[in-house]
Amino acid sequence: MRALSPSPSTLAATLLLVLLLLQCSVASAGQFSGDSSKLSGIIIPGFASTQLRAWSILDCPYSPLDFNPLDLVWLDTTKLLSAVNCWLKCMWLDPYNQTDHPECKSRPDCGLSAITELDPGYITGPLSSVWKEWIKWCIEFGIEANAIIAVPYDWRLSPSMLEERDLYFHKLKLTFETALKLRGGPSIVLAHSLGNNVFRYFLEWLKLEIPPKHYVQWLDEHIHAYFAVGAPLLGSIQTVKSTLSGDTFGLPVSEGTARLLFNSFSSSLWMLPFSKYCRADNTYWKHFSGVTRRGHQTYHCEEQEFRSNFSGLATNIINIEIPSIRGFDAYPSVSEVAETNLSRMECGLPTQLSFSAREIADGTFFKAIEDYDPDSKRLLYQLEKSYHGDPVLNPLTPWDRPPIKNVFCVYGIDSKTEVGYYFAPSGKPYPDNWIITDVIFEVEGSLFSRSGDLVEGNAGAASGDETVPYHSLSWCKNWLGPKVNITRAPQSEHDGSDIQVELNVEHHGEDIVPNMTRSTRVKYITFYEDSESIPGRRTAVWELDKANHRNIVRSPVLMREVWLQIWHDIHPDAKSNFVTKAKRGPLRDEDCYWDYGKARCAWPEYCEYRYVFGDVHLGQSCRVKNSSSDLKLHYL
């Protein structure tokens, strides 16, 4: 009933009023300040979060359903169920040159609906619409329709193919420029998951596109802040599972089919895990020194890579049993690896080999199983062509802080997350030729096997967000300077009584872990903030307890914090560097509820009882007070 209510929430109205007033404030030259009506929000969605539509006519012989132009391909579960072979033709790409199937092709949809309407009916969770809630917030806060821009992309493609086939990065640059021209102000980038890899590639591509001395100026003019949400900064371990044994993401297809499909996409390797101690050559400088790079990509590893065991991650990512030996020469490419246990191989026993993130990213692993797996050659081909040999950036290398004014890195922690796998031959033919015999999980700072046994390794201070491990998510703590202010506050509305602050914590290279207490019943959000190390620029890391990788973008806490931070940034009276954490009251009618114990609306300072025709229960009639715009000034 309330969703249908025609009157906008009071907060939206008051916020809009504030925004209109702000419009009149005079912006000082060159510096963006105080005019939210000029801001645009640009959303870069994650893997599999853009709709794909058919751009062909395909008759499906044994099914009543055909594919006609503009029919939904990703994701129409009815068609997937009734005509799986047709559907596969429309999804599949040639594993070498990434061309479409001769009978059917699909192209990404455009506009906001391309990322908000992903068939939420059949599948819940992973693939359903993650952005719908976000858009709802924007509307509730009075943001104009043309201020929110989605930049959907064909998530099946590698970055260079995105540009080659769709001119994606070219169009993305125009999107920023159009937003500036249309609304007169910079944009806020909100990227989720793989969207962060896309944005990173864009920043490198841009370096080659505009004159070097205008690069930072372009960024300052066009981008006010970058929110990196759930970024797999050192890759995602689950990619390895999808590559070797298939991951259906909840779709009604077999794992083998999922594997075939996933491995036909060149994007499948974009999120491979890599070592934080090894860096690929910087293509940018090569470009100017005139050295052409052909053939082998080189990684330069710090000594630490060889002194520590797991490339800085929790454990070896792959432990795989190689069927049996056909003589040492069968795979000379792994001589160093194989050398470690030659004696067992000569006896013809199955051999278990282990691979760290470095050995996966540099191709050693795929070479090692080349003789046992038909997909290896194709994957190696894509790895060398689309990643190691990419003319703009080899993305399988650690990312330094991007030169954007305000960078916010946001992720969930302390969920059970897969960090390593044991594979063995299954005895079945390709594509079902590997089975997972064990999985290593990280759980709140410890490693466990599937059977629950504790495992030795290099567990981080916390665990990941269910999809991406902690080491990969928290890499952005390296973007903070040597001194950091840390604040831990409850995620829910709070009055400031349970808030912990540590100012100017020093750290050098290693992970920063606050010396703070945690009540087991409270979910916290921990803020790491630095506004000092680079003059005029701010960096922050927000860790949300138990926030899940895919659902984090629709979590009310994230939306509230992003809104308050932006609200703070554009307010001419803002004095602190970051929005205060001292208190969090309800912001929307939905946040107000009935307190049965006290027989009144909770948060009386913010909420009042105001019945509106159509309310069904007490809580619904608790609404944010008209006067709450004054209260919002507390957040400056």
Ligand X SMILES: *[C@@H]1O[C@H](CO)[C@@H](O)[C@H](O)[C@H]1NC(C)=O
Sketch the per residue contact string, 154 through 183, with ligand X: x for CB under 6 A, - otherwise. ------------------------------
Report, in Å, the least distance between residue 126 CB and ligand X: 31
Question: Starting from the edge strand earliest in sequence, which strands make up the sheet with 500-506, in order?
Answer: 148-150, 40-44, 187-192, 223-229, 406-413, 538-545, 524-530, 483-490, 500-506
Q: 497 catalytic, yes or no?
A: no
CB-CB contact of 46 with 150 (8 Å): no
Q: Does 519 interact with ligand X (rule: CB under 6 A)? A: no
Q: Does 68 interact with ligand X (rule: CB under 6 A)? A: no
Which of the residues 327 through 346 are near ligand X (CB under 6 A)? Answer: 340-341, 343-344
Report, in Å, the least distance between residue 182 CB and ligand X: 29
Q: Prior bond to 75 cis, omega within 30? A: yes
Cα 574 to chain centroid distance, Å, stands at: 30
Residues near 317 by beta carbon (within 8 Å), at least 6 away in sequence: 237, 240, 273, 355, 356, 357, 360, 419, 420, 421
Report, in Å, the least distance between residue 347 CB and ligand X: 9
Which of the residues 301 through 320 are near ligand X (CB under 6 A)? Answer: 308-309
Beta-ladder partners of 148: 41
Fill in the amino acid letter for 583.
K
Residue 133 corresponds to which tokens in the numbers above? 């809630």
Q: Does 300 interact with ligand X (rule: CB under 6 A)? A: no
CB-CB contact of 380 with 363 (8 Å): yes
Q: 508 catalytic, yes or no?
A: yes
Q: Does 530 interact with ligand X (rule: CB under 6 A)? A: yes
Binder among 474, 485, 487, 565 for ligand X (CB under 6 A): 485
Choosing from 100, 154, 465, 589, the catalytic residue is: 465
Residue placing its CB nearer to ligand X in the complex, 311 or 467: 311
Residue placing its CB nearer to ligand X in the complex, 116 or 382: 382
**Candidates 18-26, 179-187, 371-379, 479-487 — which segment interacts with ligand X by CB under 6 A?**
479-487
Question: Starting from the edge strand earliest in sequence, which strands make up the sheet with 454-455, in order?
Answer: 351-355, 318-322, 417-425, 434-443, 446-449, 454-455
**Candidates 125-133, 167-175, 221-229, 528-536 — which segment interacts with ligand X by CB under 6 A?**
528-536
Residue placing its CB nearer to ligand X in the complex, 214 or 344: 344
Give 519: exposed, middle or buried? Use CB within 10 Å, 0-12, 13-18, 19+.
exposed
Q: Does 99 interact with ligand X (rule: CB under 6 A)? A: yes
**Candidates 49-57, 272-280, 373-381, 483-491 — which segment interacts with ligand X by CB under 6 A?**
483-491
Give 249: exposed, middle or buried? Use CB within 10 Å, 0-12, 13-18, 19+.
middle
**Candidates 175-183, 317-325, 377-385, 526-534 — which segment interacts with ligand X by CB under 6 A?**
526-534
Count of all residues that appear for the chain in the document: 636
* Extended beta strands in 203-284, E state: 223-229, 278-280
d(CA 489, CA 498): 7
**Candidates 42-50, 161-169, 322-330, 530-538 — which segment interacts with ligand X by CB under 6 A?**
530-538
Which of the residues 193 through 252 are near ligand X (CB under 6 A)? Answer: none
Q: Does 626 interact with ligand X (rule: CB under 6 A)? A: yes
Residues that bind ligand X (CB under 6 A): 10, 13, 94, 96-97, 99, 308-309, 340-341, 343-344, 483-485, 503-504, 515, 529-532, 626
Q: Catalytic positions, please?
A: 193, 465, 508
